[in-house]
Amino acid sequence: MTEIWQWIHELLPWFDGIVASIAIILIKAIALVMPLMLVVAYFTYAERKIIGYMQLRIGPNRVGPKGWLQPIADALKLMTKEIIFPSKANIYLFLLAPVLAIAPAITIWAVIPFDEGIYVANLDISLLYVLAIGSVGVYGIILAGWASNSKYPLLGALRSASLMVSYEIVIGFALITVVMIAGSVNLNDIVMAQKGGLLNWYFIPLFPMMIIFLISALVETNRAPFDVVEGESEIVGGTHVEYSGMAFAVFFLAEYANMIFMAVLAVILFFGGWHSPFEGISYLEAGFAWVPGIIWLLAKSSFFMFLYLWVRATLPRFRYDQIMRLSWKVFLPWTIVWIFVVALMTQFKIGPWF
Amino acid sequence: MISRIRKLVKDFSLGELRGGMRITAKELFNKKITVQFPEERIPISSRFRGLHALRRYPNGEERCIACKLCEAACPANAITIESKIREDGSRRTTQYDIDLFKCIFCGFCEEACPVDAIVETQIFDYVFLDSRKGSIMTKDRLLEVGDNNEREIDKAKEQDAKYR
């Protein structure tokens, strides 16, 4: 790294101080966001293809070989479409809403450690950062619902807001158990604490919390079977009703970026982040030593991304009050009980995790 | 008691969820049944009522004798016929229009026709380019459809002949 620095310094002597640091921040951000947007685009393709296959259909296969250019065509279509403003909507808020949706969805990625030492920012409180930024995301949806000056979006926004509030408590409690075991709120430290093979990953002591986290993540990202925000049969398209063209596409990007983020977060918290699953098994560890950690992270999180699609293809939409019951009467008591269990486990040092 | 415990175990191990997920996972690998339309087509019944056609006798003479029975039978008033006596003394249509926007594809015109002139073919994937004018099938266009699809029409009518 220092040699590269020296080389850059000799080549461009003015590249120093504040200019350099801003440039590096920009490069980091672009290196994060560009692949993210590409993954989002192809995640939509994967979604259509996988759900299609589960419904005995083929899915998109016309644009490009096997339909690989479909996301590009969709993006072009959305970019060239007209954005229609409802006549009595508040245009500033109407346009602010998608920005408020996408900004946290991208910002939240800053603290994700992709590999040992590969991250945009190494915050000491990165898990708190994730919780804080994650809860800002709901503002986009509420604002979209309110600014549209239309009934369906408003109803969708209200549903979304109340769900987010309920499930953030559950997610918060579930994450507390992780913090209790890892002894840190830094995502880097949490991943480092899971070093040393499959048995050291937190999904074993925190199995119920993992299930609860995965289900709550579905609610947080407004995904089926908890997508009451959209609820086609009841409120048409929910908050998206009045949005068209790129404004809608931005909401779409935010939703999928959040989904991918939740999958990655699940891997980081419960499945050892960038660590190889073969650590501690002598031959396999040596055999797979060449695989970089980021590949493991992405491979593991792609399973959870697949799980999202799988669940969407399987389950019908929950009724609103059932989701609420699930949150307050099932998940919340369970998390509290498991916090107690984890407290006992940490106190008496049971298992290899503490 | 036992059944309650069993239900409790099933509920807490997400039994219903696992059952559903297993089914979708199985279907993921099953054979897909989509028909890739322009390349693949499903078989069509010989009684299928699609785009109209006017037929000719094997010697090239048009069958239609302008009896206007089809016009009378048409419940949607989609058919307009004008006729004239030709030089050889036979009565022929000068205008035979079917408005496809009006037509409900009931097939009554085909049943009414005493000389099997107007028929409905198995063509269903047609398109009007010039919407208002394009929707009207003139005599020339109907004859053209009949000439182009002579073999298919004959085959369909032959299959259905013994039931008529």
- pLDDT value at A1 more than 60: no
| Mean pLDDT over the full length of chain A | 84
Interface contact B34-A56, CB threshold 8 A:
yes
Q: Which amino acid is at A108?
A: I
Residue B75: its pLDDT value, please?
A: 92
Pairing type for strands B79-85 and B91-99 reads antiparallel
- pLDDT value at A174 more than 80: yes
Contact status, residue B28 vs residue A50, Cβ threshold 8 Å: yes
Q: In chain B, whose CA is at the least distance from the CA of A61?
A: B36
Q: Give the Å distances, CA to CA, from A95 to A145, A146, B158.
A: 12, 12, 65
Among A101, A181, A171, smallest CA distance to A130 is for: A171
Find residues 240-279 of chain A whose CB sits inside 8 Å of chain B. Answer: none
Write out pLDDT tens, residues B138-159.
888 888 888 888 888 888 888 8
A311 touches chain B (CB under 8 A): yes
Q: What is the CA radius of gyration of chain A?
A: 22
Residue B116: its pLDDT value, please?
A: 86
Q: Give the Å distances, CA to CA, from B90 to A69, B66, B85.
A: 61, 10, 6
d(CA A269, CA A181): 11
Q: What is the dihedral of CA A318, A322, A326, A329, to 10 degrees?
A: 180
* Complex-level ipTM beyond the 0.95 threshold: no
Find residues 88-107 of chain B whose CB sits inside 8 Å of chain A. Answer: none
- pLDDT value at A238 more than 80: no
Q: Which chain B residues touch A310 with a CB distance below 8 Å?
A: 21, 24-25
d(CA A100, CA A104): 7
A58 touches chain B (CB under 8 A): yes
Interface contact A57-B34, CB threshold 8 A:
yes
Write out pLDDT tens, residues B124-136.
888 877 767 788 8
Pairing type for strands B79-85 and B52-54 reads unpaired
User: Which tokens is A297 given?
Assistant: 């992270």
pLDDT bucket at A193, cuts 50 / 70 / 90: confident
Interface contact B28-A50, CB threshold 8 A:
yes
pLDDT bucket at A20, cuts 50 / 70 / 90: confident
* CA distance, residue B25 to nearest chain A CA (Å): 7
Q: In chain B, whose CA is at the least distance from the CA of A311?
A: B21
Sheet containing strand B91-99, strands side by side: B79-85, B91-99, B136-137
d(CA A286, CA A280): 10
pLDDT bucket at A84, cuts 50 / 70 / 90: confident
Query: Which of B24, B32, B36 is nearest residue A314 as measured by Cβ atoms?
Result: B24
A322 touches chain B (CB under 8 A): no
- Count CB neighbours of A29 within 10 A: 15
- pLDDT value at A2 more than 70: no
Q: Report how far Cα B8 is from the mean position of its chain's Cα atoms.
A: 56
Helix or strand run (H / E) with residue A338 = helix A332-348
pLDDT bucket at A139, cuts 50 / 70 / 90: confident
Q: Which chain B residues touch A316 with a CB distance below 8 Å?
A: none
Among A258, A267, A238, smallest CA distance to A103 is for: A258
* CA distance, residue A314 to nearest chain B CA (Å): 6
Share of chain A above pLDDT 70, in %: 94
Contact status, residue A140 vs residue A156, Cβ threshold 8 Å: no
DSSP-assigned letters across all residues of A134-145: HHHHHHHHHHHH
* CA distance, residue B40 to nearest chain A CA (Å): 14
B8 touches chain A (CB under 8 A): no
Write out pLDDT tens, residues A250-283.
888 888 988 899 999 999 888 887 887 777 676 7
Q: In chain A, whose CA is at the least distance from the CA of B13?
A: A208
Under 8 Å CB-to-CB from A141, ≥6 apart: which residues? A97, A101, A156, A157, A160, A161, A222, A229, A239
Residue A323: its pLDDT value, please?
A: 87
Query: Which of B21, B30, B32 is nearest residue A58 as measured by Cβ atoms?
Result: B32
